[in-house]
Amino acid sequence: MLRFAACGIIGLGAALLIAALLLSTYTTSRISKIPLNIDATLISNGSGTALDAASLSGDHLVVNQNVPLVSQQQLSVESPANADVVTLQAGTTVRRTDKQKDGGVLLAIVDTVTLNRKTAMAVSDDTHTGGSVQKPRPYGDDNPPTAIPLRHDGLSYRFPFNTEKKTYPYFDPIAQKPFDVNYDSQDDVNGLTTYKFTQNIGYNADGKLVAPVVYPSLYAGDEDGKVTAPAAMWGVPGDPGEQVTMTRYYAAQRTLWVDPVSGTIVKETEHANHYFARDPLKPEVTLADYKVTSNEDTVEAQVNTARDERDRLALWSRVLPITFTAVGLVALIGGGLLASFSLRSESALTDPGLDRGDQDFFGRGGLEEPVPGAEAETEKLPTQRPTTHETDPPGSQEPTESQPSADNPPSPPDRE
């Protein structure tokens, strides 16, 4: 039974060591992926310059300064979503909080992208766009939205697990193409160590407008990309009735704080500028020029999400492997000692003399001093036999004093 128990313990230890190896290699790589249960509402607050939508029906456009703004983004998982890819749908709106209902909406876009769960890169090629964007609908249009296929490249809404301090391509759904997002520094956000990344679209590092993007309209006739209206409507000098055509441009700056372990964006600051102009570097009519930053509730929620991802990864990549390794080594050592004890016990039961070593170890070897000469080799002396004379006939020997004869028997002892 001891031998069987020892074999079982040794087998358990070996199994735990193998499990620790698999957890630290195979399992860790399998769980370091974008989760499939993303469902988040991200809210950013700020202010800026914005067009008054009510003035579109008037004689000239009215632009208001320092208006309160809120940006809301709803992230959810759509199909396809499996072991390899995940599809994220992001509905983003920017609206004025001083206006009610649709009158305060400045921007609305619904973007869908399929990402590789391990690299966080868009899954696209020449035959697969990897995403789509919903065509804008006029106010009061209740028809189902139309999804327009749009090729996505680079990262979108996420960074990969184990984010590195380097430059990544990050997709902008408004510009409809990726732009570099560069590592800037390491920063602390609510006690979480994050990597700070910056992205410039149309701006340089100093915030100067250098190369704005021509707004890519989602309408077939480019109705919102180029607009022709009287000069009086635009508010530009010249003949009030002269028809002036202006082009819509877009530029943006983003700062992203990313958890390097899980790739979760825990905080974001965005400066976006939508404007109409005849010269791209000379804005004439502002549609929306604003700056918004993630509010405290959003930051706290995203930090908690990142910590949960960290804990899940640490459990499978460090805690369990270390625990299994420690318990496995203890089991191997304990099983080996139990196996040795069982063999000695079996030997002692089979031949007690084989167990003398233990008695010597605990007895004379450590507690008793050897008796001098006790272990010396004993010399055997030959036994001396009485000699007889060959010439004397039997019975001719005279009895000695020490040997009484039959004629002189010993007398009884005297009594007092």
Note the pLDDT of residue 28. Answer: 63
Confidence tier at 416 by pLDDT (50, 70, 90) = very low
Amino acid identity, residue 204?
N
Lowest mean pLDDT segment, chosen from 23-27, 53-57, 338-342, 359-363: 359-363
Encoded tokens for 236:
């530009």
Note the pLDDT of residue 411. Answer: 52
The per-residue pLDDT for range 217-261, each reduced to its tens digit, is 888 888 889 999 999 999 988 888 899 999 999 999 999 999 999
Confidence tier at 382 by pLDDT (50, 70, 90) = low
Note the pLDDT of residue 370. Answer: 54
Of 168, 275, 251, nearest to 203 by C-alpha is 251
User: Could you tell me the residue ranges of all domains in the chain?
Assistant: 32-294
Confidence tier at 282 by pLDDT (50, 70, 90) = very high
pTM: 0.74
Query: Is residue 396's pLDDT more than 60?
Result: no
Average pLDDT taken over every residue of the chain: 82
Q: How far apart are CA 150 and CA 228, in angstroms?
A: 27
Q: Which residues contact 405 (CB under 8 A, 6 or more apart)?
A: 399
CA distances from 262 to 77, 159, 163, 257 (A): 17, 8, 8, 12
Of 21, 34, 36, nearest to 259 by C-alpha is 34
Confidence tier at 366 by pLDDT (50, 70, 90) = very low
Note the pLDDT of residue 216. Answer: 92
Q: How far apart are CA 235 and CA 52, in angstroms?
A: 14
Confidence tier at 63 by pLDDT (50, 70, 90) = very high
Confidence tier at 183 by pLDDT (50, 70, 90) = very high
Query: Is residue 358's pLDDT more than 50?
Result: no
Q: What average pLDDT does this structure show over 301-328? A: 81
Note the pLDDT of residue 329. Answer: 80
Note the pLDDT of residue 362. Answer: 40
Q: What average pLDDT does this structure show over 357-381? A: 49
Q: How far apart are CA 74 and CA 39, in angstroms?
A: 8
Q: Which residues contact 361 (CB under 8 A, 6 or more apart)?
A: none
Query: Is residue 114's pLDDT more than 60?
Result: yes
- The radius of gyration computed from the CA coordinates of the chain, to the nearest angstrom, equals 48
Percent of the chain topping pLDDT 70 = 75
CA distances from 17 to 14, 253, 315, 324, 332 (A): 5, 50, 16, 6, 10
Give start and end residues of each alpha helix (H) in 260-367: 296-314, 320-350, 356-362
Q: What is the DSSP string of 166-189?
A: S-EEEEETTTTEEEEEEEEEEEEE
Query: Is residue 66's pLDDT more than 90?
Result: yes
Note the pLDDT of residue 140. Answer: 61
Chain mean position to CA 194 = 14
The per-residue pLDDT for range 139-169, each reduced to its tens digit, is 566 677 788 999 999 999 999 999 999 999 9
